[in-house]
Amino acid sequence: MDRNKVIVNSWNEWDPLKHVIVGRADGTCIPAAEPALEAKVPEDSDMKGKFGPRTKDTIDKANQLLNDFSEMLSKRGIKVDRPTPIDFNQNISTPDWKVETMFGCMPPRDVLLTVGNEILEATMSYRCRWFEYLCYRPLLKEYYNLDPNMRHESAPKPRLTDADYREDYLSDKIGIEKRLKWTEDKFFVTTEEEPLFDAADILRFGKDLIVQHGFTTNLKGIDWLRRHFKDHRIHAVNFPGDPYPIHIDATFTPIKEGLIINNPQRKLPKDQRKLFEKNGWEIIDAAQPAHNEPPALCYSSVWLSMNVLVLDPKTVCVEKSEKYQAEQLDKLGMEVIPVDLRDAYAFGGGLHCCTADVYREGEIKDYFPKQ
């Protein structure tokens, strides 16, 4: 194989990063109500009942931060690509449904899953995000043309009819207690009508993929991944304690081989820890977030504090204001690079969310030989 032509290669979350996609905030909309979104937007959120384009000044600010972050990565020798936004403020439809607006393309991590030489477009589970892959197609086309070994895959587009969502979640007045009980019982907003997953529910550990079963990924989605990645072992995990379980990357974050930080309010259940413990991996509580509340009009929780981007097993990007998380990682021997991103959180998440791997050095390895 001609190594010079390899564009796509990434097997885990921590090997040295050489090429990455960083999202953009252009045209991001607050999507209109739809069943999956209703379940996720916290009951007391300032976004309830609102939809349409975000303001120009908040978009400009977020773009400035994303541009600065990209520039910092480039200066460290990491190639950075950016998506091509489309007009998100338009009605979209399929024969089964229509919605008033799309979302945006700030968090590529939600849509694209890189496993080795493959980039897989996730099914997604919100109607407003059904067409988001289009923003990444110019890049995927380029990688596909340049790299004869690259596999460009797309999971079956879901129909996302009402049968995909539980009506129980449509109420605004469920209350945290009931939500916690439901999520602990794995009674999530998505049904098992058809395979559904968001790429940000998946973490890559060489031969093993760890997948969060929650609001955005159902068991059929996990089964689809198992059938698709035949040479991998797929493990479903869930995290009781999270009333809005979407995406694994503010909950369970591998830092380097052998070390994971876990959200102390969303602990991995004992039986699911065995795989890690048997193989000598340490799971420690993540530090507390520095903030009591997320920024205005933000979907994500304060735990974006642990949504870090590992550049290599000794270097990690942490949001600039997250002093406790930075301190913890520093004590664990990591070089911490502070990155100002908080004013972009509302556009789709933190440092891990707003990036997607194209190339990390290294090959597939078996980190969990004892299964």
| 200: contact with ligand DAV by CB under 6 A | yes
Least Å distance, CB 246 to ligand DAV, is: 6
Q: Which is nearer to ligand DAV, 158 or 349 (CB)?
A: 349
Q: Is 353 in the site for ligand DAV (CB under 6 A)?
A: yes
State both tokens at 25: 């905030």
250 binds ligand DAV (CB under 6 A): yes
Which residue stretch of 84-92, 173-181, 214-222, 245-253 sits at the interface with ligand DAV (rule: CB under 6 A)? 245-253
Of 169-177, 218-226, 247-255, 321-329: span binding ligand DAV (CB under 6 A): 247-255
Quote the least distance from Cβ 198 to ligand DAV, whole Å: 8
Applying CB under 6 A, does 179 fall inside the site for ligand DAV?
A: no
Which position has the token pair 């040295």? 16
Q: Residue 55, class by beta-carbon neighbours within 10 Å (0-12 exposed, 13-18 middle, 19+ buried)? A: exposed
Please tell me the count of residues contacting ligand DAV according to CB under 6 A: 10
188 or 303, CB closer to ligand DAV? Answer: 303
The reply on whether position 238 binds ligand DAV by CB under 6 A is no
194 binds ligand DAV (CB under 6 A): no
Length of the chain: 371
Among 70, 125, 190, 300, binds ligand DAV (CB under 6 A): 300
Do 26 and 85 contact (CB within 8 A), yes or no?
Answer: yes
Question: Nearest approach, Cβ of 344 to ligand DAV (angstroms)?
Answer: 12
User: With binding defined as CB under 6 A, does residue 247 bind ligand DAV?
Assistant: yes
Q: Which stretch binds ligand DAV (CB under 6 A): 72-80, 178-186, 242-250, 320-328?
A: 242-250
* 354 annotated active-site: no
Closest separation in Å from C-beta 365 to ligand DAV: 26
For ligand DAV, give the closer residue by CB, 200 or 329.
200
| CA separation, residue 365 to residues 15, 119, 126 (Å) | 11, 18, 33
303 is a contact residue toward ligand DAV (CB under 6 A)? yes
The residue among 217 and 300 lying less far from ligand DAV, judged by its C-beta, is 300
**Could you say which of 301, 325, 328, 355 contacts ligand DAV (CB under 6 A)?**
301
Catalytic residue among 242, 247, 354, 357: 247
CB nearer to ligand DAV: pick between 334 and 346: 346
Our answer to whether residue 247 is catalytic in this structure is: yes
Among 349, 358, 359, 367, binds ligand DAV (CB under 6 A): 349
Active-site residue set: 198, 247, 353
Residues of this chain that interact with ligand DAV (CB under 6 A) are 200, 246-247, 249-250, 300-301, 303, 349, 353
